[in-house]
Each structure stands twice: as structure tokens, then as C-alpha cells.
């Protein structure tokens, strides 16, 4: 079974940084699509970042320059580096995975993912 376990969330002041980690088991990073999705209270899910089999990555346009997604194949761990955090970044952040094609993952946002972690809360004040 695929399991995704997030860590690294917490409370931070605006302008600060956090790095989220997602330990992946049952699924090699280069065998599918992986990403981060966030959801704030009262708002829809938003795909924050995506990385696909060949290492290409994509970050939501509004977050480019502040957020970076990366993966460590040796550790089978996915990361999200978040810099210059803003209060609007406050949300639950989920690690997610899919075995769908890279194109499907690119084109379908959060809906492309079929396996989810339990989430880690990020609060920016």
C-alpha cells in the first residue's frame, strides 16, 4: 500500500520559512506524480506544486518565487520549501500521489491525485 506521511508544519511569522517533508512508502518517487495540495478553511483545495516522473516540476503561478518542490529519490521523500510566507498561506497542506500519466497530473490539478497523506498544518501570523 502507498503511504504518505507529512511533517514539518507549524506556526511561523510572516516572512519566515518552513520546509515540509513527505515520507513516501510503497511508491517510488520516479514511478508516478507527487505533489502538495493545500486547503484553507472555507476555501477549495489548491494544488500548490507537482513533480512528475522525469523530474519536471510545476508550482502554482501565484506561488512561484516563494515555493519550491523537490524530491530525494534515495530517501523516497518529497519536500516543499516555502519562503517569504504570508498569512494567506495558512492552510492544511497535504502530500498526494498518483500513478496517472504525467500529462493527466499536469492537467487536472488536485483532482489528479488518488492517494493522500493526513496533512500538516501551516499557520502564518
pLDDT digits (tens, 9 = 90+) for 41-97: 999 999 999 999 988 999 999 999 999 999 999 999 999 999 999 999 999 999 999
Amino acid 114: pLDDT = 95
The 3-class SS string of the chain reads CCEEEEECCEEECCCCCEEEEEEEECCCHHHCEEEEEEECCCCCCEEEEEECCCCCEEECHHHCCCEEEEEECCCCEEEEEECCCCHHHCEEEEEEEECCCHHHHHHCHHHHCCEECCCEEEEEC
Amino acid 123: pLDDT = 98
- Rounded to 5 degrees, φ, ψ at 75 are -95, -5
Amino acid at each position: 500500500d502507498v503511504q504518505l506521511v507529512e511533517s514539518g508544519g507549524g506556526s511561523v511569522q510572516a516572512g519566515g520559512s518552513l520546509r515540509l517533508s513527505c515520507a513516501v512508502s510503497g511508491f517510488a518517487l520516479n514511478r508516478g506524480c507527487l505533489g502538495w495540495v493545500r486547503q484553507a478553511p472555507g476555501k477549495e483545495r489548491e494544488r500548490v506544486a507537482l513533480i512528475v516522473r522525469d523530474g519536471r516540476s510545476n508550482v502554482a503561478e501565484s506561488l512561484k518565487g516563494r515555493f519550491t518542490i523537490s524530491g530525494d529519490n534515495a530517501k523516497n521523500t518529497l519536500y516543499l520549501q516555502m519562503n517569504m510566507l504570508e498569512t494567506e498561506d495558512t492552510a492544511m497542506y497535504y502530500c498526494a500521489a498518483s500513478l496517472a500519466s504525467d500529462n493527466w497530473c499536469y492537467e487536472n490539478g488536485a483532482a489528479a491525485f488518488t492517494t493522500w497523506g493526513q496533512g500538516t498544518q501551516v499557520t502564518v501570523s
